[in-house]
Chains A and B, each alone.
Chain A
Amino acid sequence: MIDLDGLYSLAELPLLAQTGGSFWLPDAATKDPAMDPVFYLILAVCALFFFLVVGLMGLFVVRYARRPGVKPQKTTTHHTLLEIVWSVIPLIIVGVIFYQGFAAYMEMQNAPSGCYEIRVTGRQWQWVFTYPNGYSDDNLHVPVDLPVKLTMTSTDVIHSLWIPALRVKMDLVPGRYTSVWFRADKEGTYRLLCTEYCGDEHSNMLAAVVVHSAEDFQEWLKGAADYLTTLPPAEAGKILYQRRGCFQCHSTDGTAGTGPSLLGIYGRTHTLADGGTVVVDDNYIRQSILEPQAKILAGYQPVMSTYQGLVTDDEITTLIEFIKTLK
């Protein structure tokens, strides 16, 4: 595969077909995505009119190129019937396109009853998917063939959830809920991205969509949700540190990121931005997760948004245990 450290050689780059999907659209997670026929209809209309207009333009430039002594031919300068024809034909065509786009859109909007419901929270710069049993994950796992409804909101700025393979996109707006539904009928792993610009790490706000068979999904959910009780707290905390995206701002190797590194932070006395000091203990960590703006360490910006409602007390305990191990 591609070596990102070296320069790309054009010959090494794979052709489109190798990465799935058609020339224009990526692999689909459904057998017949409602959008695709509309996309190709519009593409055909575009191609037709582009070649018509540019073809005529090219023809006229060659055919009627200025030649010495040759006068332009007289034609009429006004033709109402012609104007009506070339207004009405495009009007009919765009009417058809509008209707097709609208019909497919309504199919994509109206969620059927009996959807499997997952809550989605967007925050800078991470996705949190909360399943009906209360378990939260940073990737979206869904069962195949079952309609899934995502009810979404944001804790900070506007984000937008896009799953190219499912042709769905919807904004996550702070202070209100939006929703989107889909039915994936092909098992596999697909990409989920943020498409509403949301700040410094916007391009890293990614997740995977894993479409499991019905049995695998139940098994995954049970296993994933049980790690808090089956694993020792520090190990569970390490998993949580990954899944909740803490790693994006807080390193474990001593490098300062957007936030302070967690290496050796526990038990030390630190200077705060307002000049005071604080001992990093269990209560300080708990407060920093739930009320991140309360006590900011000197040298850092108050940019972290709260995890209130996104972590349980048990989970905070495991995170504290994990941080204790980082010495």
Chain B
Amino acid sequence: MATTQVEPVPDSYLTDPRGLRSWLVTRDHKRIGLMFLVLISASLALGAVFALLIRTELTLPGGQVVSTGAAYNRLFTLHGAVMIFLFVIPAIPSSFGNFVLPIMLGAKDVAFPRLNLASLYLYVVGMVFFLLVLLLGGIDTGWTFYPPYSTSTATPVVLAVVGAFILGFSSIFTGINFLVTIHTMRPPGMGWFRMPLFLWSLYGTAVIQVLATPVLAITLLLLAVERVLGIGIFDDKLGGDPILFQHFFWFYSHPAVYIMILPAMGIISEVISVFSRKHIFGYDFIAYSSIAIALLGFLVWGHHMFVSGQSPLVAMIFSALTFTVAIPSAIKVFNWLATMYKGSIELTPAMCFALNFIFLFGIGGLTGLFLGALATDLHVHDTAFVVAHFHYTMAGGVLMAFLAGLFYWWPKITGRMYRVGWGQLAALVVLIGFNLTYFPQFIIGARGMPRRFFDYTQLVQPDPDFPMLKPHPEFVYYQIISTVGGFLFVGGLVLVAINLIGSCFGGRKAPANPWGAATLEWQCDSPPPRENFASAPEAGDCYDYDDLEYDEQAQEYVKLP
């Protein structure tokens, strides 16, 4: 009779080697990815605190949290800057990208592990700059830094701009690493069109990171030079042109929204296929659409400037080009639906958040049509409508995919299983809270509520000088709904955090392949050993689930002989 033996716990990347120093100087992509995940999640929490302060402030007209426009302007600037530069841009590539990209390729690490560590440290330095800005009282330019306001305000703009500059290099380093790794380190048997789609999306993202980010770096540097040395570049008082800044800024920042959304779409492609147990539909079209989005994304920046005074001809061209970007995104959505068709769909938390993504990003993408069309953009530009639109794409898109990825790869990263029921509940709470928060903003925006507005008292009250002027008291009603939704939304995120962090203390041990996925990262242990694979794995069809069968006893999927 066999005696019960204590199973030896194999050393994973988490424990091999041990010690703080081994983490600080690590070149292991998994450790770097995990550290990124922690820092990025902390940034998300900070951004969410600012978001709740903004929402509470706007609940009723007049000052609620802060008493002056100056203080409110710092709140929305810090919310935007933290969320954009510290969360959404690096959210998926630097964390999950770093963690799974080499394993999906069956490799031991990325092509340039030291550069990867440098990218992490640059992120930390950028974060420190942002925290300094916060300690010095914050900045009030909006995350867009438009001059001449940004060159004339008394707040520490240069510090923030240098922070964003440094974060840009973190992003460029990650991009270079991914490009080279995907080009040179694919295993035998994995041609370009046999790669997991997540890698295609990271590839498209890396192209934008490397080509567009330097433009932001130059622009921010010029802005700092103008502020510090008084050299006229953007400020008309010094002979500069404020519109030039907008062109430079959006030449980066529009492609940057695809830096944010492409990796998100990559996660959705993986999750939908795995939890429908169906081969992904239209692989080639999804892959090509990632590249099409990456390239077309460079040609549409002028749609942020339809009311800036650019010529109608230029506006017309940018409007037309903008609509072409809608098509590759639509192709992806239709292919995901076709993948689900006749599948065997399991609503795991990861799948729930992926469905949230389709629901919310669908609204975000479709409402983009109002902004791409010239006549309607004139009306809704710079209103709460735009705020709703980009939150549906960024929070409804990137954040939902980030959460889907978090629930999908969590067992692989930590080696622990979380509570499925609580994850599903969190997805539902987030979906309801999200729509309550942002949908009302479409309505009030189209009806006359601008964005970045501290106090809307005068919009909802009758004007004694002009008794015929109709006030909009209904704005208050929608703002209240929006704030209640905001707290529900963040409550859902707190549920996610409790569930996942709790799983590290007493969660069931994760098997190698809990979901029955066919990409290579599910062939190594959970969590993976230091060098990922004992011997180089063989790459097969990464969406073929036929030979994976659920083993009730081991509670994991095993390969049929």
Contacts and interface: CB of A to CB of B under 8 A. Distances in A.
Contacts of B331: 83, 86-87
B346 interface: yes
Interface residues of A, number: 101
Contacts of A188: 468
B472 to A, nearest CB: 5
Contact of A13 (B152, B453, B461, B476): B476
A54 B471 contact: no
Contacts of B469: 189-191, 208
Given A72-B278, A105-B374, A108-B378, A197 B69 contact: no
B455 A195 contact: no
A191 B320 CA distance: 31
A202 B307 contact: no
B460 interface: yes
B70 interface: yes
A61 B345 contact: yes
A157 B373 contact: no
Interface string B35-51: 00000000000000000
A229 B358 CA distance: 66
Interface in B413-467: 443, 446-448, 450-463, 465-466
Q: Which interface residue of A23, A66, A95 has the most chain B CB atoms within 10 A?
A: A66
Interface stretch (A127-135, A165-173, A215-223, A315-323): A165-173
Given A56-B337, A64-B340, A204-B458, A173 B242 contact: yes
Interface in A58-96: 60-61, 64-67, 70-73, 75, 77-79, 82-83, 86-87, 90-91, 94-95
Given A57-B340, A64-B345, A2 B323 contact: no
A39 B377 CA distance: 9
Nearest to B541: A77
A105 B148 contact: no
Given A49-B366, A64-B340, A173-B309, A158 B149 contact: yes
Nearest to B378: A169
B557 to A, nearest CB: 13
A75 B342 contact: yes
Given A188-B468, A202-B453, A66 B381 contact: no
A64 B343 contact: yes
Given A77-B281, A106-B312, A158 B358 contact: no
Interface size class of B (residues with CB under 8 A): 35 or more
Given A61-B347, A199-B149, A97 B373 contact: yes
Contact of A102 (B140, B237, B316, B359): B316
B344 A64 contact: yes
A148 B234 CA distance: 31
A71 B374 contact: no
Contacts of B140: 199-200
Contact of A35 (B60, B337, B347, B376): B376
B379 A167 contact: yes
B390 interface: no
Interface in A160-209: 160, 162, 164, 167-171, 173-176, 178, 188-191, 193-204, 206, 208
Contacts, number: 308
B362 A49 contact: yes
Contacts of A77: 279-283, 543
A57 B341 contact: no
A26 interface: yes
A301 B154 CA distance: 9
Contacts of B461: 1-2, 4
Contacts of B446: 24-26, 39
Contacts of B460: 2
B473 A13 contact: yes
Contact of A157 (B62, B148, B472, B474): B148
Contacts of B154: 301
A78 B543 CA distance: 13
A57 B140 CA distance: 42
Nearest to B337: A56
A19 B470 contact: yes
Contacts of B11: none
A8 B476 contact: yes
Contacts of A158: 146, 148-149, 242
Contacts of B367: 46
A16 interface: yes
Given A25-B446, A188-B468, A191-B448, A42 B149 contact: no
A121 to B, nearest CB: 14
B531 interface: no
B414 to A, nearest CB: 25
A61 B340 contact: yes
B338 interface: yes
B280 A194 contact: no
Interface string B298-310: 0000000001110
Contacts of B215: none
Nearest to A74: B342
B243 interface: yes
A193 to B, nearest CB: 6
A95 B377 CA distance: 16
Contacts of A83: 282, 285, 331, 335
Contact of B333 (A53, A104, A199): A53
B532 interface: no
A191 B449 CA distance: 11
Contacts of A202: 69, 73, 452-454
Contacts of A269: none
Interface in A13-56: 13-16, 19-21, 23-27, 34-35, 38-39, 42, 45-46, 49-50, 53-54, 56
A220 to B, nearest CB: 13
A301 B70 CA distance: 14
Nearest to B550: A68
B337 A60 contact: yes
B498 interface: no
B382 interface: yes
B276 interface: yes
A137 to B, nearest CB: 12
Contacts of B146: 157-158, 196-197
Contacts of B370: 39, 42
A101 interface: yes
Contacts of A208: 463, 465-466, 469
Contacts of A195: 381-383, 450-451
Given A45-B369, A173-B236, A176-B236, 10 more contacts: A1-B462, A19-B471, A20-B470, A83-B335, A94-B327, A101-B319, A105-B316, A157-B149, A178-B309, A200-B73
Interface of A: 1-2, 4, 7-8, 10, 13-16, 19-21, 23-27, 34-35, 38-39, 42, 45-46, 49-50, 53-54, 56-57, 60-61, 64-67, 70-73, 75, 77-79, 82-83, 86-87, 90-91, 94-95, 97-98, 100-106, 108-109, 139, 156-158, 160, 162, 164, 167-171, 173-176, 178, 188-191, 193-204, 206, 208, 210, 301
21 contacts: A14-B474, A19-B471, A19-B473, A35-B379, A39-B379, A49-B362, A53-B337, A73-B342, A77-B279, A77-B283, A86-B334, A87-B331, A95-B323, A101-B319, A102-B316, A102-B373, A139-B466, A157-B149, A199-B73, A202-B454, A208-B463
In the A-B complex, the 4 residue pairs with the smallest Cβ-Cβ separation, listed nearest first, are A101-B373, A175-B236, A105-B374, A104-B375
